């Protein structure tokens, strides 16, 4: 059971880190570009580059120069890759925690299917 607490704590810490990375991304945009709009919708960092960069330019009311685009493309891609890797890790840890709970309560495959909504 102690392992379950460890995995749960790891999940919480991982989700906090995801949110912190999003906040850091937003803080960088605000500091570098004077961006006031929230990073939601088309400005969400999870968007693909083209719609994201278009929304960014509309938000700052100017076109990004080629050098700026190259820098933001690299930063945006790195951010997305890091976040995707973190989400995948959290998904695996969440699945492991589920399995621990199923074992703890000695659930049958039918009960597991019911819990998982299958």
The domain locations on the chain are 2-116
Taking alpha carbons only, the member of 55, 35, 57 closest to residue 44 is 55
Alpha carbon separation from 107 to 4, 39, 91, 115 (Å, rounded): 16, 42, 21, 10
First to last CA, the chain: 26
Predicted confidence pLDDT, tens digits, the chain (118 residues): 567 778 889 999 999 999 999 999 999 999 999 988 888 999 998 899 999 999 999 999 999 999 999 999 999 999 999 999 999 999 999 998 899 899 999 999 999 999 998 7
């Amino acid at each position: 059971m102690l392992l379950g607490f460890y995995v749960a704590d790891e999940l919480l810490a991982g989700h906090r880190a995801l949110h912190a990375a999003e906040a850091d991304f937003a803080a960088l945009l605000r500091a570098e570009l004077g961006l006031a709009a929230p990073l939601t919708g088309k400005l969400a960092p999870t968007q693909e580059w083209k719609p994201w960069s278009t929304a960014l330019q509309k938000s700052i009311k100017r076109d990004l120069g080629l050098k700026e685009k190259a820098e933001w493309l690299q930063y945006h891609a790195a951010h997305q890759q890091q976040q995707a890797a973190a989400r995948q890790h959290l998904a695996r840890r969440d699945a492991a925690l589920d399995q621990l709970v199923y074992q703890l309560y000695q659930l049958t495959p039918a009960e597991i299917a019911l819990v998982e909504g299958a």
